[in-house]
Amino acid sequence: MTVFSEAVPLGDLLVRGAARHPDRVALAFPDHELTYAQLLSGAVLTARGLHALGVRRGDHVGLLMPNSPEFLEGYFAITLLGCVVVPLNARYRSSELAYVIDHARLRVVLVTDRNSERCDFRAILSESLPSLADAVVGAPLDLSEAQNLTHIVMLRGAESPGFVGQDRFFAAAAGTPAELIEAIRSTVRLRDVAMLLYTSGTTAHPKGCLISHEGISRGSLGRMRQNVPLVDHNVYWCPGPLFHIAAMQVMLGSIGLGGTFVSDTYFDGPRALEQIRQYRVTSLWPWFQAIMNGLTTAPGFSPDDLATVTSISLIGPPSFLRDVQAMVPQATHINGSGMSELSGYYAMSPLDDSAEMRATTGGKPVSGVEVRIIDPETGIDAPRGTIGEILVRGYLLMEGYYRDPDKTAEAIDADGWLHTGDLYVQDEDGHITYEGRLKDMLKVGGENVPAIEVEAFLCTHPSVMLAEVIGRPDERLDEVPVAFVEIAAGSAVTENDLIDFCRGRIASFKVPRAIFFKTASEWPMSATKINKVALRRELGEMALHDA
């Protein structure tokens, strides 16, 4: 097929969609819909409010909220202003959130009280930023923990000390004409940074990926056009969190193609099934086995409920993927490989791939992307069919890690190749298949969890002398963290004490599911380092014994 590139600034995606399909539903939640015209109107109003608070082109603005209409209005408002969107992981807790807000030099954080019964972001921010307790209602913030932060805005919610309520915010918006927002939008360039996306790496803190407008818009639209079957009106169901690049690329692809994006504040099988029926969804993006199972085991589910579906994006064991293809034979299964540093998927199943290749490989590099598989020891290209580290290069590559030139230089070499740290094998036809991680990284339900991050946090407990974290296989989440810990002599700390110490302070998916205690002489060593291979073997032997 002939491939052509389409790249526009992110704000233009919505403006174009509203011009072409003003009355079409752009966003659908179980209790709320927004047409393209309404979504654009809300985004412009939010941009006017941000401008009234002093936000200017290039400023960093955070989004801390679940999937919601406010998320999209805030997201596009930030891009219309030529500012940088900083999506904050809604699962972050106090120590992580405080670090990112300060490191990203956020000027404003946008929040909502939607779904506050499940996750109270006002309370989480107050714990993360203790100086908020001294804030004066209506006055700019002056926080020792985040010196660049001037305002926290409730796009939906009342005013309180440290938080600008929706009434004050939108009243201030009236002082900024909509024509000014349009003038600012017209100055945004494709290679401007659109997003600062934090991702867990092998360091103790998340790293911020600088993503350009071209990287994310050209990639999101290109993947949809080249790898996903399209119809006249495409309706995408995506339950994943919009602060994650995986869901974000689907949302942007949907808006760019004039589609309807169907989501929810959290995944609920029966509610999702009802949405799929109601909106006659054409493309499912559950990604993981647990989500797909939650959908197909919902009360009353029948494969006939998916009769309108023409594509399903899903990763998992080949046997599971074959079963899904058999259950929904009219839908094209899409497999893929991606990461935040590469603006989402960098490889996907081609449209002409066989069902078996879709079930067993991560697809081929998408248009405009190059990959190499190298021997990690020598750096020389590995023969086809041989496992090695995958290197990726192309327009979708991040500009670098924010405020970290050393880590950027480690990750991106002089020839522009990103050294991913992931192990792949490539066949003679160009398909790539994931074989594990070169880095010491856990993958918990799709979230990257660096062992060193959890280890460093455990060692902040006064009784912990040393901690080593490894992954334990888990049927639902692929793997979960467990920790081996050495405590100070005379300490009486228990397993539950340490797990409770983590809860609420680091993201729930990072909390160790079990703690095993070691004395100084019990650690397995290899030369000068603790041997994690031996720890994994020990964990496996414990599992066999328990079985």
Q: How far apart are CA 271 and CA 295, in angstroms?
A: 9
Q: How far apart are CA 327 and CA 323, in angstroms?
A: 6
Cβ–Cβ under 8 Å, residues 79 and 11:
yes
Cβ–Cβ under 8 Å, residues 87 and 63:
yes
* Residue at 44 is within a domain: yes
DSSP annotation of 521 = G
Cβ–Cβ under 8 Å, residues 481 and 513:
yes
Report the largest interatomic distance among the alpha carbons of the chain, rounded to a whole angstrom: 70
**Tokens standing for residue 376:** 């990690």
**Tokens standing for residue 210:** 């600088």
Specify the pTM.
0.85
* Residue at 186 is within a domain: yes
pLDDT score at 118: 85
Q: Within 13 Å of residue 70, how many CA atoms lie on the same side as its CB?
A: 19
Please enumerate in sequence order all residues whose Cβ is within 8 A of that of 493, keeping only pairs 6 or more positions apart, or say none.
461, 463, 464, 487
* Residue at 540 is within a domain: yes
Domain boundary among 181, 207, 233: 207
DSSP annotation of 141 = P
* Residue at 173 is within a domain: yes
Place of tokens 């009342």: 158
* Residue at 243 is within a domain: no
Can you give the three-state secondary structure of 317-361, one letter per residue? CHHHHHHHHHHCCCCEEECEEEEHHHCEEEEECCCCCCHHHHHHC
pLDDT score at 547: 59
Please enumerate in sequence order all residues whose Cβ is within 8 A of that of 356, keeping only pairs 6 or more positions apart, or say none.
322
* Residue at 238 is within a domain: no
Q: What are the b/e assignments for 283-315, b being 16+ CB within 10 Å?
A: bbbbbbbbbbbbbbebeeeeeebbebbbbbbbb
How big is the CA angle at 93 (ends 90 and 97), to the nearest 5 degrees?
80
Question: Distance of alpha carbon 347 from its chain centroid, rounded?
Answer: 17
Q: What is the pLDDT along the chain (547 residues), one digit of tens a residue?
A: 778 889 999 999 999 999 999 999 999 999 999 999 999 999 999 999 999 999 999 999 999 999 999 999 999 999 999 999 999 998 887 888 999 999 999 999 999 998 878 889 999 999 999 999 999 998 999 999 999 999 999 999 999 999 999 999 999 999 999 999 999 999 999 999 999 999 865 556 889 999 999 999 999 999 999 999 999 999 999 999 999 999 999 999 999 999 999 999 999 999 999 999 999 999 999 988 879 989 999 999 999 999 999 999 998 878 889 999 999 999 999 999 999 999 999 999 999 999 999 999 999 999 999 999 999 889 999 999 998 899 999 999 999 999 999 999 999 999 999 999 988 999 999 999 987 677 677 889 888 787 878 988 998 999 998 899 999 998 888 899 999 999 988 889 999 999 999 999 999 999 999 999 999 889 987 545 687 878 988 998 887 777 5
Q: What are the b/e assignments for 469-490, b being 16+ CB within 10 Å?
A: bbbbeeeebbbbbbbbbbbeee
Question: Distance of alpha carbon 56 from its chain centroid, rounded?
Answer: 26
Cβ–Cβ under 8 Å, residues 59 and 107:
yes
- Range(s) of the domain holding residue 91: 35-207
pLDDT score at 451: 82
Long-range contacts of 472-479 (CB under 8 A, 24+ apart): 472/513, 472/514, 472/539, 472/543, 474/444, 476/289, 476/290, 476/445, 477/290, 477/444, 477/445, 477/509, 478/443, 478/444, 478/445, 478/446, 479/442, 479/443, 479/444
* Residue at 456 is within a domain: yes
Domain boundary among 158, 175, 207: 207
CATH of the domain at 476: 3.30.300.30
Q: How far apart are CA 209 and CA 214, in angstroms?
A: 14
pLDDT score at 351: 95
Cβ atoms within 10 Å, residue 381:
13
* Residue at 231 is within a domain: no
CATH of the domain at 96: 3.40.50.12780
Domains: count for the chain: 2
Q: Which residues pair with 336 in a beta bridge?
A: 348
pLDDT score at 376: 85
Domain boundary among 186, 207, 228: 207
